[in-house]
Structure 1
């Protein structure tokens, strides 16, 4: 298995062409800040679930839709990012994302009914679904080739670190202020990012008269919504069955949603194959190297994004900590992740993809293994320490997975690859939140009320089930990447 970099990255560059322009840095900072705030406000909510459950009188399975609907909306929006880049100017796309993020934040500040929170999260999800791939497209199109790994690492930092520090920020802010203050604080930060973006975002390629097929868009949205809704409602049905309650409607909705989602996914693939201007050019997935990278990029966020939910809720509902302490438990891992994402990109530029991906991902599995082994005897310090192990290694390796995959496809298809991989990332996160909240809800069902010793013990048991699931997912992701690198090495051999 070779770990040599691609020839395109090892060719001797012209030093004048390999400098990173100041405006490119400003554009990445502006768009990255918007994406960062979007993801941050999404994960901020996880530490607030117990408080939101009390304020809006909803249960665990319902309150998690604050997170799931956001991630689902982001996932449904990202497939159009390739079309948006071809059809509209980068600055126009950026300003549209800002407007959506601002509107969503204003609704969150003033909403006093749970359905309005869901509407706000949908609007914010569309904004973030536009901003995140826009950042990656700017990096892929405008960065010097010898610096693409580290700049993609900076982009991955946004995706990796924001979910991790969200619970910490949420716990800290809500200790001294109402939870709505989080969105009040976000507004001036978004306005500053807007000014920087307007000044720095440059258009390097011409737009074209691309066509957005509503049928293709509709089928991919139905596919994503159906599969996540099916998973969520299956969890509700299982939780109800465990508690001895009727399960008929939830089970029917789950079955219908999954069937509709899979059928729509098949229809989308068929439509894109026949279309003159496909929404996503899925032909790049015929390459098993790209496909295996995608599998890992789809399932690993189930763990990485789900960790923020699991740790903060296990800490509060099983260990009895307050929201501030629960959110602080992810801070050490989040801080180290901020350093490791760009460092991982530098290692990619220096050594290629194999060792900078497989070694840290292999070590990262130790985190959920230790959490599983000590699940019934965890302390807050152990939660933070074991998560630190995972976050350190995950951030080091994850920044290189999409970069490695896109190095195997023609440059003109990079926006499609970017859209597919970012959609997979967000879908995995949405599925992970739904999956882990379901596992905890199943464990908690029929074990008393929140705060009781029986309920706390049941939550700890549910946590052990979650950590076991995480181990399986991490191993599957590592195997997928190892297989991809082996195929790539055999082609060069």
Structure 2
């Protein structure tokens, strides 16, 4: 078939309605999980008062959820090979329902942590399942757009989450969020059962307990090291006892790194590895994966920083603070499929590097105006970041996985999504630590001294974001140079 006729035939490929239904159903579970995560960030001050915990403790509501998601992601490739798609989907629904029910009745902080772990496992199953369905069942010419739709499903939640959280605290108890989530999950289950189709056969894959345990311990250890290191630094700055937290941080780091090395070694020797890490031998894929870990670290942490700076430094209400991130996050989420369309039409380089380069202007402006911020400036500068970040980042995983052989794409998908969630967990821990260090010894919440300390912590955080964004952008630029050399 001539090239023009082949291109015309590809452009006329239709997307099956059942595929759209499956994406919406599975994506809805990830949507609800991320929604509750971002809702909780804007509720941190209220939760601190209700459960009598400090900033470093309350952030575990988000960190433990993201950590549970990240720890579950590596087994997504095994689950897809071993079980039918519909079975995996229903397991994710069940976990989401159980976690929501516990959140509704939880009266102590540790029980909320347990609920968030259960919900995180459910979302950790759902998100890569949606991507696997898109990669496996999408028409070839529409994969960029459908990946953009998948990105839309899971990025609208951060857009509306803080606003929903602020609105709920204004008119309803915060637990109402989880009451509303239950019927939505039931509707998603009905749609999924009707639309999810099995296109490939399952196989007798083996789940190695050593590999599973080592990757979970590695992820937990590394994030715990970051969190407790921050607690130790904060305590040292304020003149408190830092020895215990410091010891926990060092031990956690050693255990985390040791477990990660054990996972890599055992994966190389295993007959049926949990993750086939050979996909990372390609430097272009590896650089994409690094960027896909670093950039969400900023994006997920951004909502936390803005809402807390707005409340604790500028003194606005939870509802107003949540509303500040809505315009940028919502328009960015809606435009994610546009980024996928650019990818299908122009390839990967320009639709990724140009918008992500412009997105860096957001935290740069935040830093420049950090000591003179107003709610309007916070919303405007976040709009710049959210809009361009969503357009560019929606294509990073699609571009990275294009270099991976088809039979290994579930493994690549699991690696990328694990990096995404680990970056989010690390970002929340890192940025909350920076704020806690700045606030240490600054008096009580509500005082001018505490507000100034929070603004200073915000400035430190925005500077850190800039460095992370530049490193991620450079990784992608290098990956495209490697790819260009191969095509010569």
Q: C-alpha displacement at 1:37, in angstroms?
A: 0.5
Q: C-alpha displacement at 1:166, in angstroms?
A: 1.2
2:31/2:155 contact within 8 Å kept: no
In 2 relative to 1, CA 46–269 (structure 1 residues): closer, same or farther, beyond 3 Å?
Answer: same
* Residues 44-59 of structure 1 aligned to structure 2 (within 5 Å): 44-59=39-54
- 1:39 matched residue in structure 2: 34
Q: How many residues align?
A: 486
Matched, 1:217 2:212: yes
- 2:298 matched residue in structure 1: 303
- 1:125 matched residue in structure 2: 120
- 1:469 matched residue in structure 2: 464
- 1:239 matched residue in structure 2: 234
1:9/1:146 contact within 8 Å kept: no
- 1:437 matched residue in structure 2: 432
Q: C-alpha displacement at 1:18, in angstroms?
A: 2.0
| SS in structure 1 of the partner of residue 167 of structure 2 | helix
Matched, 1:268 2:263: yes
* Residues 386-425 of structure 1 aligned to structure 2 (within 5 Å): 386-425=381-420
The TM-score, its normalising length taken from structure 1, stands at: 0.97
Cα distance in 2 between the residues matched to 1:240 and 1:16: 60
Unpaired segments ≥5 residues, structure 1: 1-7
Q: C-alpha displacement at 1:228, in angstroms?
A: 0.1
Matched, 1:367 2:362: yes
Cα distance in 1 between the residues matched to 2:74 and 2:400: 17
1:168-225 superposed Cα distances (whole Å, 9 cap, x missing partner): 1111122100000010111111111111001000001110111000100000001000
Cα distance in 2 between the residues matched to 1:76 and 1:239: 27
Q: C-alpha displacement at 1:159, in angstroms?
A: 3.3
- 1:26 matched residue in structure 2: 21
| SS in structure 1 of the partner of residue 43 of structure 2 | helix
| SS in structure 1 of the partner of residue 335 of structure 2 | helix
Cα distance in 2 between the residues matched to 1:32 and 1:433: 23
2:206/2:272 contact within 8 Å kept: yes
- 1:139 matched residue in structure 2: 134
Cα distance in 1 between the residues matched to 2:395 and 2:10: 24
Matched, 1:320 2:320: no
Q: C-alpha displacement at 1:260, in angstroms?
A: 0.5
2:81 corresponds, among 70, 74, 86, to: 86
List structure 1 runs of 4+ shifted beyond 6 angstroms.
Answer: none
In 2 relative to 1, CA 407–16 (structure 1 residues): closer, same or farther, beyond 3 Å?
Answer: closer
Q: C-alpha displacement at 1:334, in angstroms?
A: 1.9
2:24/2:153 contact within 8 Å kept: no
Unpaired segments ≥5 residues, structure 2: none
Q: C-alpha displacement at 1:9, in angstroms?
A: 13
Cα distance in 2 between the residues matched to 1:17 and 1:270: 46
1:9/1:145 contact within 8 Å kept: no
- 1:108 matched residue in structure 2: 103
Cα distance in 2 between the residues matched to 1:10 and 1:446: 70
- 2:251 matched residue in structure 1: 256
1:9/1:349 contact within 8 Å kept: no
Q: C-alpha displacement at 1:10, in angstroms?
A: 11
Cα distance in 2 between the residues matched to 1:399 and 1:16: 21
| SS in structure 2 of the partner of residue 12 of structure 1 | helix
In 2 relative to 1, CA 297–335 (structure 1 residues): closer, same or farther, beyond 3 Å?
Answer: same
1:361/1:397 contact within 8 Å kept: yes
Matched, 1:199 2:200: no
Cα distance in 2 between the residues matched to 1:271 and 1:401: 29
Q: C-alpha displacement at 1:13, in angstroms?
A: 6.4
Cα distance in 1 between the residues matched to 2:353 and 2:5: 21
The TM-score, its normalising length taken from structure 2, stands at: 0.98
Q: C-alpha displacement at 1:468, in angstroms?
A: 0.3
Matched, 1:490 2:481: no
Q: C-alpha displacement at 1:17, in angstroms?
A: 8.0
In 2 relative to 1, CA 15–477 (structure 1 residues): closer, same or farther, beyond 3 Å?
Answer: closer
In 2 relative to 1, CA 430–10 (structure 1 residues): closer, same or farther, beyond 3 Å?
Answer: farther
Q: C-alpha displacement at 1:385, in angstroms?
A: 0.3
- 2:184 matched residue in structure 1: 189
1:72 corresponds, among 62, 67, 72, to: 67
Cα distance in 2 between the residues matched to 1:150 and 1:10: 21
1:289/1:488 contact within 8 Å kept: yes
1:290 corresponds, among 278, 281, 285, to: 285
